[in-house]
Amino acid sequence: MTDIGTIRIPEEVNDDENHFTCSVEGCERTFRRPGDFRRHVVRHVPPKFKCIADDCYKLFYRKDKLHEHLEQDHEDVVARVDES
Ligand SMILES: [Zn+2]
Ligand SMILES: [Zn+2]
């Protein structure tokens, strides 16, 4: 399996560059809508780890990458997770 690490899915699209490009090597397909892009991306590798924070669309294929992201961007969520 190819380790594609983190795929960042932008939440907003600006008018000049209204497309998302698949970050998987050799693919480079582009999509107009984040929903379409997201559906496409998960075909490469089934997502194993999805960011648990609300309003965050990041997908991770390695648990350590998810944790890294949570610690960097969602300190409040990390506190919640550690309790359980
Ligand atoms: Zn692709
Ligand atoms: Zn997140």
- Render pLDDT for 1-49 as a digit per residue (tens, 0 to 9): 455 566 665 555 454 466 888 877 788 889 888 888 888 877 776 667 8
Which of 43, 45, 17, 50 lies closest to 31, judged by CA?
Answer: 17
Q: Residue 3: its pLDDT value, please?
A: 53
Domain ranges of the chain: 6-83
**CB-based neighbours (< 5 A) of ligand 2, an ion:** 51, 53, 56, 58
53 touches 74 (CB < 8 A):
yes
Q: Residue 83: its pLDDT value, please?
A: 59
Calculate mean pLDDT across residues 63-74: 91
CA of 2 to the centre of ligand 2 (A): 22
Residue bearing tokens 């795929």: 7
Query: In degrees, to the nearest 5, what angle opens at C-alpha 49 toward C-alphas 42 and 38?
Result: 30
Q: Residue 52: its pLDDT value, please?
A: 86
CA of 76 to the centre of ligand 1 (A): 32
Q: Residue 16: its pLDDT value, please?
A: 47
pTM: 0.42
